[in-house]
Amino acid sequence: MNKSKIFFISLCLFSIFSFLLTSCQQQSNDKPSEETPKAQNTFPNGKIVDLSYDFSDETVYWVNAKKFEKEKVAEGMTENGFYYSANNFSAAEHGGTHIDAPIHFAKGKQTVDQIPLEKLIAPAVKIDASKQGINNWDYQITVEDLTNWEKEHGQIPDGSILFLQTGFGRFYPDTDKYLGTDKRGDDAIKDLHFPGLSPEAAKWLVKNRQINAIGIDTASIDYGQSTKFESHVVLMEENIPAFENVANLDKLPAKGFQVIALPMKIKDGSGSPLRIIAVLPN
């Protein structure tokens, strides 16, 4: 065998070896190493508390608003051998656990579909004024109630959702106790009695704190006997949405939990049914 043939064979073997070595290195690089960090689950872990009431013929609506109605469309086995169920429903925007979009009481402000999701998914705190509320059905939560809470728990954090517990959640859906009347229609408005947030406290909040949203366990942020709905106006002029008829506030701590509050995305809506959950730390 001459030298040229030996050189050619050696070159071929070297090329084959180099190809195999490169291939093995590439396969090794494609495999995740033990040191490769895994994606972190940033969704808050903990106990989930449902803060929404279900919608049914018992759902509480404003006394002159259209109530929830569900119409059965189909239920049962079809001719093609599979089960099928479907319903139609209709209702006012504002009823049951729902959101008041800022446009509800402030011209030109955000509609339901315009509220940034960042305002509805946030840390939250709760102020418990249930002792005052149960003892006075026309109670309006005061600036002092807010500042007393802060003396014990620290300042209401900027970017948080603020819940107000009046104790009236225990009455839902008994309208006679929850609203102060079981009558319906425009004439029943004068008979509404339940606690709310005072206009002075609403003004203090928008001036001194930067909350994302506010929620309450009654049918309105303003107390039942309000005729000017001043707390609504003050908050919503600042694009602060309100959650009303919030359930299970008695199951929440004073602070340290996360909230996800997602409304039905009604275009140009002044309000919408709302599904709220709280995630409590373990």
- 126-138 pLDDT per residue, tens: 999 999 999 999 9
Task: Name the packing angle between helices 143-153 and 199-208 (round to 10°).
Answer: 50
Q: Look up the CATH number of domain 47-280.
A: 3.50.30.50
> Per-residue pLDDT tens for 246-256?
999 999 999 99
The string of pLDDT tens digits covering residues 13-51 is 444 444 444 554 454 444 444 555 544 445 668 999 999
pLDDT digits (tens, 9 = 90+) for 193-235: 999 999 999 999 999 999 999 999 999 999 999 999 999 999 9
Mean pLDDT over residues 59-86, rounded? 97
This prediction has a pTM of 0.84
Least confident of 16-20, 178-182, 235-239: 16-20
Question: H-type helices in 102-181, by residue range?
Answer: 130-135, 143-153, 175-178
HSE (side-chain half, CA atoms, 13 Å) at 51: 35
Residue boundaries of the structural domains of the chain = 47-280
Q: Is the pLDDT of residue 257 over 70?
A: yes
pLDDT band at 1 (very low <50, low <70, confident <90, very high): low
Kindly report the length of the chain. Answer: 282
> Amino acid identity of 215?
G
Q: How confident is the model at residue 9 (pLDDT cuts 50, 70, 90)?
A: very low
The pair of three-digit structure tokens given for residue 111, joined into one six-digit string:
């509609």
